[in-house]
Structure 1
Amino acid sequence: MLERLFQLREHGTNVRTEVLAGVTTFLTMAYIIFVNPSILAAAGMPHDAVFVATCVAAALGSLVMGLYANYPIAMAPGMGLNAYFAFAVVKGMGMPWQVALGAVFISGVLFILVSLFRIREWIVNAIPHSLKLAISAGIGLFLAIIGLKNAGLIVANPATLVGLGDLHSHSALLSIFGLILIVALEARRVTGGVIIGILAVTLIAVAIGDQPFGGVFAAPPSLEPTLFKLDIAGALNMGIVSVVLTFFVVELFDATGTLVGVAHRAGLLDKEGKLPRLKRALLADSAAIVAGSALGTSSTTAYIESAAGTAVGGRTGLTATVVAILFLAALFLAPLAGTVPAYATAPALIYVAILMTRGLSEIDWTDLTESAPAVLCAVAMPFTYSIADGIAFGFVSYALIKLLAGRVREVPLAVWLIAVVFILKFALL
């Protein structure tokens, strides 16, 4: 049955290798079952229900990617998008989380449509490379400022806007320890370094009495508080075009880049350098966004940590299917997830930020018409506390700088369309 479903021999692999790859991938991304509920709880969402939604959305997304598209790529609620959902849309704009889930649903439906009609590939190919890198780096910087704040390492300062926190506090000291431990473990290529760091800080917090211990195993909590609570009509009535556009654009680059990147590392691209069964893979991650919003979590996307599984031999959808099974098993870890304090997940946020900002090194710094919009895009995200505003700065400045520099022909139509939408948003709303 497994051979028929996944064509193991054709891909030069076997069940043992695929299972090992699935376990490896799960361990590298399992931190999301602790981090995502923590972030979305800050937006007023019920922690335990989000924990269940996170595990189920990750399991469903990975299962569809494995069985339908036959790729060793796991899925889960995306980092960056969850922070934008909680801190920019809900807390920053004062939007109810139910309406924000409605916006995620709408972006997922748009994703399905553009995947079916091959518009998605046109948009991805049209967006300048420098802006793609800037969006990823900017989200990383946005995660960094959230992580530093949760750790207590930075605080509000009326004179300088932001200042250094209390380095004598347990939260700051344990977060610093956690970050150093995670980076060291990852540098030594220890599988599951991020999850080890989170659990180590949590254990110390419990041992010194900073955090009550809720246990490890229990029956899964109820999903009812978030299940089908999305408010699609509210999202449409509030006219949140820029919010939907931001979810859509970030999901577009994040998921597509991950799909191509992991497939390339695994040697799964065809002779022309293209991704076989691309349409199936795109539909799989699009459907996962819609399903996740219905369950009660922010956008679900393909995870770059899947590369850890392909590095040990994962080549088929059986790897993703194993990840799905393990996420369902993780449903019974709800007490442990509730024990993890925010400053234990802060080092994970900062570590992911480090990985995401390295894309800035690939920007062409000799061309100001490329580098200036990229820097404006990346820097605006943390300083405006909004991924949407950062993307707006990038696209609008890119179009206008190219226009005034006499290089308007270098601006793709898709960039002009997105820039005009943001200009109208700033002018009229």
Structure 2
Amino acid sequence: MNRSIFERLFNIQENGSTFRREILAGIVSYFTIVYITVVNSLILSEAGIPFNGAIVATIVTSAASCILMGFFANVPIILVPGMGLNALFAYTMVQGMGLSWQSALSAVFVSGAIFAFIAFTRFSKVISDSIPNSLKEGISVGLGLFLMFLGLEKGGLITKSASSLLALGSFSDPKVIATALTFIIAISLFIKNVPGSFLITIIAGSIIAYCLGIISFSGVSFKGMDVSSYGDVFMSLSFAEAGRFDFWVAVFIMTMVLVFENIGLVHGHVNSIKRPGQYQKAFQATGISVLISGLAGSSPTVATVETAAGIASGGRTGLTSVITGILFIVSILFIPVIKVIPDSAIAPILIIIGILMMENIKNLNFGDFSESVPAILIIAMIPFTFSIADGMAIGFIMYPILKIVIGKAKEVSPVLYIIGVLFLAYFIISTIS
């Protein structure tokens, strides 16, 4: 590779990084999020999309979106189909509302068009400026706690309990042992600032899992997979059901979730690399990627929380995202191999990233309950409801209510009042539908 070309394209040195660090961060980002190719496809198949076609749609959407983010916004944000939004697509829009999956893809496309309109007009800045810092910090911390929760659950360290909501996983389970051992390796490497610590963790975690009999490499093939069914998925969106009320309810709910979830995620990521000036372009790229999702045949993308893995590995520019996108393209040849990477190798990375994101809680003003309580509700409800959108909604509704109660209604911008009402409508419409 000609490093000078990439230096000019991404201003690597100017942004405090190196070519090697960006490549490594892109690889780490990929291995941290690659599980989405299988998980998202399984959920999309529940909506009726052919499984192999859903895998290709997920890969195409993720690759195109990451590369777009890298070149357009020059930030290391990873865009892939969002967990929760894929469930909304399959279980609410298709199975619950009775839309065909082709119509649901059209709803994704329309939501993307509305999202892009907001992102490319002054509405984006107006909305962003209207959100107080306490809520933004609450979102960042809530996402960190959510990521930590996902890691603990994925690694088996916490599990469902018959007598309570959660319980400690059993150390008689090889998966739990593998996760614990891999976490010790991961945190040791991270504390010592070992280059490529997360990538080493994934490799070491996979070896540990193999030694404990959790995974097997027998039957792994490098022949790739049949992609012919993707012809039935690509550009298959249909507006035949656009006259139905449920179609527009689905568009409303999805747009609400997309806009406000990504506001929180994008803000958190650009602030973590100390490049808040790139927020607007990153937000715009996210809007365009949702349009791509509908055309490519997938549920919509989000600026995933796993982006923090690449950032923690030193990624500071769009080259990180581009490398991740390229690896998604290549991965179509290695799906059987990717499936072998165990959860116990990924979970420790998610836990560490979650811990890092939670440090922002120190920025909350606990002397003013009207500021701290809505933020704390967001922090608690994002992981406890297992929904970023629901957690944010509760905080955004409570903030203006508390300000009114203490006689500080004028501190709340008109836009934030509208956002609060829209989130309340989101809950009402979701309940009715």
- Equivalent residues in 2 for 1:17-416, closer than 5 Å: 19-40=19-40, 43=43, 45=45, 52-69=56-73, 71=74, 73-77=76-80, 81-82=82-83, 84-85=84-85, 98=101, 104-213=108-217, 214-215=219-220, 217-219=222-224, 222=227, 224=230, 227-228=234-235, 237=247, 239-240=249-250, 241-259=252-270, 261-262=272-273, 264=275, 274-275=277-278, 281-295=282-296, 296=298, 298-301=300-303, 303-304=307-308, 307=311, 321-416=322-417
Question: Contact 1:38 / 1:342 at 8 angstroms: preserved in 2?
Answer: no
Q: Residues of 2 paired with 1:166 and 1:5: CA distance?
A: 51
Contact 1:402-1:408 at 8 Å conserved across structures:
yes
Percent identity, aligned pairs only, is 25
Aligned mates of 1:336, 1:120 — CA distance in 2: 41
Measure, in 2, the Cα distance between the counterparts of 1:128 and 1:368.
14
**In 2, are the aligned partners of 1:34 and 1:51 still within 8 Å (CA)?**
no
1:88 Cα deviation (Å)?
7.0
SS of equivalent residue, structure 2 residue 163: coil
Cα separation, partners in 2 of 1:372 and 1:151, compared to 1, 3 Å: same
> CA shift at 1:246, angstroms?
1.8
Helix, strand or coil for the counterpart of 1:30? helix
Q: 1:91-137: CA deviations, max 9, x gaps?
A: 69965994776665444322210122121121111111111121222
SS at 1:168's partner residue?
coil
Secondary structure at the aligned position of 2:249 is classed as coil
- Cα distance in 2 for residues equivalent to 1:24 and 1:183: 18
Report the Cα distance in structure 2 between the residues aligned to 1:382 and 1:341, rounded to whole angstroms.
Answer: 23
Q: Tell me which moved more, 412-421 or 212-221.
A: 212-221
Question: Could you say if the C-alpha distance between residues 380 and 402 of structure 1 is closer, same or farther in structure 2, counting changes exceeding 3 Å?
Answer: same
User: Scaled by the length of structure 1, what TM-score is found?
Assistant: 0.79
> TM-score under structure 2 normalisation?
0.78
CA contact (8 A) 1:199 1:344 kept: yes
Q: What's the C-alpha RMSD, in Å, of the aligned pairs?
A: 3.9
Q: Distance in 2 between matches of 1:363 and 1:74?
A: 25
* Whole-angstrom distance in 2 between the partners of 1:257 and 1:373: 18
Instruction: Report SS of the residue matched to 2:181.
Output: helix
How many residue pairs get matched? 409
Deviates more, 1:295-304 or 1:413-422: 295-304
After superposition, the Cα gap between the structure-2 partners of 1:257 and 1:381, relative to the gap in structure 1 and judged at 3 Å, is closer
Preserved contact between residue 312 and residue 353 of structure 2 (Cα < 8 Å): no
Q: Secondary structure at the match of 2:35?
A: helix
Query: Structure 1 residues 339, 162: CA separation in 2 closer, same or farther (over 3 Å shift)?
Result: same
Provide the rounded CA distance (Å) in 1 between the counterparts of 2:61 and 2:178: 31
Distance 1:147 1:332, change over 3 A: same
Letter of the 2:247 partner, please give it.
N
User: Deviations along 1:324-377, whole A, 9 cap, x unmatched?
Assistant: 434433433322211123343333333332233222222112211111111111
Q: 1:373 to 1:73 in 2, by over 3 A?
A: same
Letter in 1 for 2:40: L
d(CA) in 1 for partners of 2:340 and 2:10? 45
Once residues 414 and 238 of structure 1 are traced to their aligned partners in structure 2, the CA distance between those partners, rounded to angstroms, is: 23
Residue 53 of structure 1 deviates from its aligned partner by 4.3
Cα deviation per residue 1:185-226 (whole Å; 9 max; x = unaligned)? 222333443343233323332333322325374435527286
> What amino acid is the match of 1:75?
I
Distance 1:197 1:209 in 2: 18
Q: CA offset at residue 392 of structure 1? A: 1.9
Which runs of 5 or more residues in structure 2 are unaligned? Answer: none
**Any conservation in 1 of the 2:85–2:254 contact (CA below 8 Å)?**
no
| Consecutive unaligned residues in structure 1, runs of 5 or more | none
**SS of the residue aligned with 1:328?**
helix
Counterpart CA distance in 2 for 1:180 and 1:131 is: 33
- Once residues 10 and 37 of structure 2 are traced to their aligned partners in structure 1, the CA distance between those partners, rounded to angstroms, is 39
CA distance in 1, matches of 2:21, 2:205: 27
